[in-house]
Structure 1
Amino acid sequence: MARAGGRDSQHVGEEHLVVSSAEAHWIQTASPSQIGLLLRIPARSIEIFLQKIPAGEASDLHRHVHESIHFVQHGSGWSEIGDQRVRWSAGSFVYTPPWIWHRHYADDGRDVEMIVIENSRLLAAVDASQRESMGNASFADAFGANTE
């Protein structure tokens, strides 16, 4: 409790408590999707970024040791998460468990925009971060299994 005593102060030293999505630093992934990094958010244990998937396209098939939750702002589509295929649309939250191969697909007709929240910073802080990608393969291509 002695160490926690200093935490009673309500002084907030971090800057950038409000960050606009217009400040995102966009990077192209190995797939047609893009990731918008929100570099000025001072979070220490979670990562929050934006993801765009063009209509009719998909992210890469990948897995990582952290959990992730995608909040779908715009568009609709489906995800292959392990041996399951799940549909989602605007307003949905899509959960991906740790170390499960997954890929997100946008329906034809409208780009998908998502907010992604993951605990990757926490794992990186203890040097336990890992990510693998199989590129643009589907789950069926990679594992010979159907996710429907």
Structure 2
Amino acid sequence: MENSETQFSSKDFHKTFATPNLVIPEKLIHKNVEQAGEHNQFSAERKHPVFFVDLPSKNVSMTIGGLLPDQMTNRHRHTYETVIYVIEGEGYTEIEGTKVEWKAGDAVYIPSWAWHRHKNLSNSNNAKYIACENAPQLQNLGVALREEEGRDL
């Protein structure tokens, strides 16, 4: 079977096998995610702390995000879907003009290419969430796009 670095073309259709080839990666756990430190570039762009979970998934990503007291992110959109699970705090996510209020224990779905932003409603406590996205899958297909309001693609 072809290795993961191989690019397939239409002549390789016959190489689609009925039985998957199991590959166990070396890294199966990322311990103490937040202790590894913020992702500096992404945190700066998003204007709030973001911690990437560093595992070899080629289809799904996971990050831990935080919103400081009374903080609101920039409006942005992307071609990948997002599911957010709120760990701490309360606030809302505005999705295409619809305000979706959330608190710890809630999950929020953000559709592909929907303008959205997040707001922490507390004046004194941080909000924290886990975000899961199919970004790696779309990046591997070459169709992942992301846009911040007021900035060109």
TM-score normalised to structure 1 length: 0.79
* Superposition misfits of 4+ residues, deviation over 2 angstroms: 2-7, 22-32
Equivalences, count: 131
Q: In the TM superposition, what is the alpha-carbon distance from 1:6 to its structure 2 partner? A: 5.6
Distance of 2:139 and 2:18 partners within structure 1: 24
Q: In the TM superposition, what is the alpha-carbon distance from 1:49 to its structure 2 partner? A: 0.9
Q: Does 1:80 align with 2:80?
A: no
Q: Percent identity?
A: 25
Aligned to 1:32: 47
Aligned to 1:107: 121
Aligned to 2:76: 62
> Which string of whole-angstrom CA distances, capped at 9 and with x for unpartnered residues, describes residues 41-77 of structure 1?
0100111111111010012110001100111111110
Distance of 1:26 and 1:129 partners within structure 2: 19
Q: Does 1:117 align with 2:132?
A: yes
What SS does structure 2 have at the residue aligned with 1:129?
Answer: coil
Distance of 1:18 and 1:68 partners within structure 2: 22
Higher strand share: 1
Aligned to 2:8: none
Distance of 2:71 and 2:143 partners within structure 1: 31
Q: Superposition RMSD on alpha carbons, in Å?
A: 2.1
Letter of the 1:62 counterpart: H
Aligned to 1:129: 144
C-alpha contact (below 8 Å) 1:32/1:54 kept by paired residues: no
Match of 2:36 among 20, 23, 32: 23
Distance of 1:91 and 1:24 partners within structure 2: 24
What SS does structure 1 have at the residue aligned with 2:70?
Answer: coil
Q: In the TM superposition, what is the alpha-carbon distance from 1:26 to its structure 2 partner? A: 2.7
Distance of 1:55 and 1:31 partners within structure 2: 15
More displaced stretch, 23-32 vs 118-127? 23-32
Distance of 1:81 and 1:117 partners within structure 2: 17
Structure 1: gaps spanning 5 or more residues: 136-148
Q: Does 1:90 align with 2:104?
A: yes
Q: Give the direction of change, closer, same or farther, for the CA distance of 1:76–1:4 in structure 2 (3 Å limit).
A: same
TM-score normalised to structure 2 length: 0.77
